[in-house]
Amino acid sequence: MAPRDIEQQTLEIISCFFEEEHALGFRDLGGCIESDGPGDDDMFDPVVIADKLRELGDDFEEKYIQPHISRLQRAVANKAVEEFARSVDSLCAAQSAEVAPEMQLLRASMALGLYVKKTCPDLRATIQSCMAAFINTRLAGWITQQGGWDQVTMV
């Protein structure tokens, strides 16, 4: 088989690979080429090969990629917490000095959280996590000193 044939077959396989998953016997992938039938002299079947490659990819993903993604997600969440804190600190600088610094932090974090909730719903879970981490790290002691959340929200 000539290298040109391999290149063309590779294109066909990759095209099938990115189509919706279908049963191995399904031959019309709506956009993917129609594969050779079993009666042909050439046994090349991009659908079958794409399905086998998908199985290889799925196995590799489960064993190797998912653990890396989990670590990456934790790292991104940690960076998000840091960025959330920087944003809140920056927002506090814009507030008047007559409000307690802790209340400024609380007010700014709530405003930022609400804004993200309204404008970036896909970040909702991340922002919830960031807000909780920020408040627990920076404000939990102050909230306790005030007598708890009931007292803080009455101010």
pLDDT score of 75: 79
Other Cβ atoms less than 10 A from the Cβ of 55: the count is 10
How sure is the predictor about 22, in pLDDT bands with cuts at 50, 70 and 90? Answer: very low
* 27-36, 86-95, 101-110: the lowest-pLDDT one: 27-36
pLDDT score of 29: 42
Average pLDDT score, the chain: 75
- pLDDT tens for residues 38-59? 444 467 788 888 888 778 777 7
Count H helices and E strands in the chain, helices first. Answer: 7, 0
pTM: 0.48
- The answer to whether residues 84 and 130 touch, using CB atoms and an 8 Å cutoff, is yes
Quote the tokens at residue 110.
């709530």
